[in-house]
Amino acid sequence: MADPRRAEPKRLEQAVALQTNARLAYLQRLGWTEAPMKTLDPRAEAKIPGQLAPARRKFARYYGHTPMEMALLCLGSFLPLWGAPPVLGMKACAWRWLRTREHLQFGCLCPSMIVDREQQLVATFTNLNARGERSIPAIQITAEPLHLLPRSLAEEGTQLASACLFTGTEKSFDVGYWDDFTPLLVDCLVSDQAACTAARGRLKRLAWTALMMGVAELKGHHSIGLHRVSVPHEVTCHAF
């Protein structure tokens, strides 16, 4: 018969490993890195800046998966990044709050649509062209916490606005295009419904047309990630 005292350290080791993995997954969701953290690139400017502010409660529910994580995120949103203690991921929470505020305030508004209610998938359209005349139409499929939306909006086919930040390498930026973009669904993070409605209204009708054309081209294959689409140049270049 095995000695239970010998099994105890192993169980403790497994418990610590599980806690460590959970904490790492939590920090990864927040986008935390030990490297110097960069936020916005002063060389880029949004054509339609969001000019929106996140609600702390929605922010905590957007990124947190447990009551403890939500409480830490809410607390971290009140702390300055330089003053946040390096325990329980508080500095990461403060940084994510700062990043989310910048994302919604300075990110470019783009058209989005719920394409799969059951899988909580949202499609967002943009032009990855950074400068110049060439258009690079693309659709980003993301999984969003649709339970944060008002019930009347959480339906397949609903059109919403997303604030988007763009990323690229020095090489791609010099050539004149972005490699990728990250949308945040405005209604999931902003409590002011009038501001969310106004954000949708600031997008051109042609932007919604481009979104519908791009989604139709995917033909129901809504895999998460970036999809290049062939929306006509005349539509894409005048959508924003």
Domains and CATH numbers, the chain: 51-106 (no CATH), 108-240 (2.40.410.10)
Cα 146 to Cα 164: distance, rounded to the nearest angstrom = 18
**Torsions phi, psi for 88 (to 5 deg):** 55, 25
State the SS3 of 61-102: HHHCCCHHHHHHHHHHCCCCHHHCCCCCCHHHHHHHHHHHHH
pLDDT digits (tens, 9 = 90+) for 64-84: 989 998 998 898 888 776 665
The closest alpha carbon to 125, from 38, 204, 197, belongs to 204
Integer angstrom CA distances of residue 232 from 65, 161, 203, 236:
40, 22, 18, 6
pLDDT (mean) for 29-44 = 52
pLDDT digits (tens, 9 = 90+) for 163-184: 999 987 777 777 788 889 999 9
Cα 240 to Cα 229: distance, rounded to the nearest angstrom = 17
Predicted model pTM = 0.79
